[in-house]
Amino acid sequence: MDIRADLHLHTKHSDGFLSPAELLQRAKAVGLSIISVVDHDTVAGIDECTVIGAELGIEVIPGVEMSTVVADREVHILGYFVDRTNTTLLEYLQFFRMERLRRAERIVEKLNNIKIPLTIKSVLDRAGKGSVGRPHIASALVDEGLIGDYHEAFDRYIGVGRPAYERKFQLAPLDAIKLISSSGGLSFLAHPGRSTPESAVTELIKAGLDGIEVVHPSHSPELTTHYKAVVNEYYLLESGGSDFHGGKRNDDAALGSFYVDDERVHAMKRRLFTTRSSQ
Ligand code: AMP
Ligand code: FE
Ligand code: FE
Ligand code: ZN
C-alpha cells in the first residue's frame, strides 16, 4: 500500500479541537502512516504525539507553525524536525504566546465596546494552557450564544478589517526561517495559495526557505500544479497536508484526503542529513 504522510495537523495545544490521543486515533483510522503536528507557536504537544504514535505505528515528525507578516498579509512558516529543546526557539515561542494572550484580551475589549458581552475567561477556558487564537474566540462566541456560527464570527467581528480585529505581533518570515534553521529544522512556506504574494515567495526562496507546502485544502488543482513547478524550478522540498483542526471547523473530510507520499519525507530527511553533516 502507498504510504501517506499528512504533514499539517493541529491539536488542542493550539487551535485544534482534539487531544494528541484523539488526533492520532483519527489519523490511524484514515490510514495515515506519517504525520506532523504543527501547532501554532508551540511544540508542547509533540512529545505526547510521538509516544502515542509509536504505540499505533505512526511516525510523528516534530513541527511548529509560526505566524509572520509581509506587507500586511499573514504568511505562515512551518518548521519541520525542529529541536524542541532549543532554548532560543522555546523563548521565542513563549514570548509569542504571551503576545497572543494580550491580543485576545484586546479583542475581547473591542467586542465588549460594541456590546458583545464575551469574557476573556470564556476564551481561555477553550484555549486551556495552549496558544490562544481567534478560533477560541469564535468558539466561545458560538458556545455563549452570541453568534450563530463559527465562520460568521470571523465575517462579522474578528476577521481582518472587522470591528474587533487585532493584529498579532509581527515577525518577519526571514526571522522565522532563521529561527527554524538555528534550531536544526527545515522551513516551509505554509499554504502559499491562501495569502502569500508571489513576490514574497521568491524573496523567501532566496533567503533560504527549504520547501513549499504544495498540497493543502485551500489550493485548487491549478495552484497545486503551479507550486509544484516553483518547487522544481528552485530545487525545493515539497510538503503537504490537511491543516485539520477538527470540531466546529467542519473540516473532518480533509483528514485522510490531503497528504504526500513517503518519498517527500525521505527527501526532507536527506536534506537534514546533508546540512547537519556539513556543520
Ligand atoms: P490567529 O492565529 O489567532 O490569528 O487565528 C488564525 C486562525 O483563524 C487560522 O487557523 C485560520 O484558519 C482561522 N481563520 C482566520 N480567518 C478565518 C475565517 N474567515 N473563517 C474561519 N476561520 C478563520
Ligand atoms: Fe490553526
Ligand atoms: Fe496556517
Ligand atoms: Zn495550520
pLDDT of residue 36: 98
* Residue 248 resides in a domain: yes
Mean pLDDT of 120-135: 95
Ligand 1, residues 134, 149, 249, 251: which to mutate, most atoms within 8 A of Cβ? 134
Mean pLDDT of 118-129: 95
How much distance in Å is there from the Cα of 203 to the middle of ligand 2?
A: 25
Q: Which are the contacts of 13, defined by CB distance < 8 A and separation ≥ 6?
A: 20, 39, 42, 44, 45, 129, 130, 131
Q: For residues 208 and 261, state if they share a domain.
A: yes
Residue 16, CB-side half-sphere exposure with 13 Å CA sphere: 27
Q: Answer yes or no: do 74 and 182 share one domain.
A: yes
Q: Are 263 and 178 found together in one domain?
A: yes
| pLDDT mean across residues, the chain | 95
Q: Which range marks the domain in which residue 145 is found?
A: 93-158
Question: What percent of the chain stands above pLDDT 70?
Answer: 99
Task: Report the number of distinct structural domains present in the chain.
Answer: 2
From 39-43, 181-185, 247-251, 271-275, the region with the lowest mean pLDDT? 247-251
Q: What is the distance in A from the centroid of ligand 3 to the CA of 88?
A: 22
153 and 173 co-located in one domain: no
Ordered DSSP codes for 78-102 = EEES--TT-HHHHHHHHHHHHHHHH
Residue 109 alpha carbon to ligand 4 centre in Å: 26
Q: Could you tell me the CATH number of the domain that includes residue 148?
A: 1.10.150.650
240-279 tens-digit pLDDT? 999 999 988 889 999 999 999 999 999 999 999 988 777 6
| 73 pLDDT tier (thresholds 50, 70, 90) | confident
What residue has cell string 538555528? 182
> Ligand 1: does its nearest atom lie under 6 Å from the Cβ of 133?
yes
Residue whose CA lies nearest to ligand 1 atom number 17: 154
Same domain, 218 and 177: yes
**pLDDT value of residue 1:** 61
Instruction: Express each pLDDT in 89-115 by its tens digit.
Output: 999 999 999 999 999 999 999 999 999
Based on the domain organization, do 214 and 251 belong to the same domain? yes
- For residue 68, is pLDDT > 90? yes
164 part of a folded domain: no
Confidence at 52, pLDDT banded by 50, 70, 90: very high
Nearest CA to ligand 1 atom 11: 135
Its pTM stands at 0.94
For ligand 1, whether the C-beta of 134 sits within 6 Å is: yes
Q: What atom in ligand 1 is closest to the CA of residue 103?
A: 3
Nearest Cα to Cα of residue 37 among 49, 29, 26, 25: 49
Nearest to 163 by CA among 116, 211, 200, 111: 111
Q: What is the atom index within ligand 1 of the atom nearest the CA of 74?
A: 4
So what's the pLDDT on residue 250? Answer: 85
* Residue 106 belongs to a domain: yes
Condensed to tens digits (0 to 9), the pLDDT of residues 216-248 reads 999 999 999 999 999 999 999 999 999 999 988
In this structure, are 84 and 23 located in the same domain?
yes
Residues 109, 80 within the same domain:
no
The CATH number assigned to the domain holding 272 equals 3.20.20.140
- Based on its alpha-carbon atoms, the radius of gyration of the chain, rounded to whole angstroms, reads 18
Last residue of some domain: 101, 135, 158?
158
What pLDDT is recorded for position 247? 86
Instruction: Provide the pLDDT for residue 108.
Output: 98
* Protein residues placing their CB within 5 Å of the ion ligand 3: 76, 190
| 159 close to ligand 1 (CB < 6 Angstrom) | yes
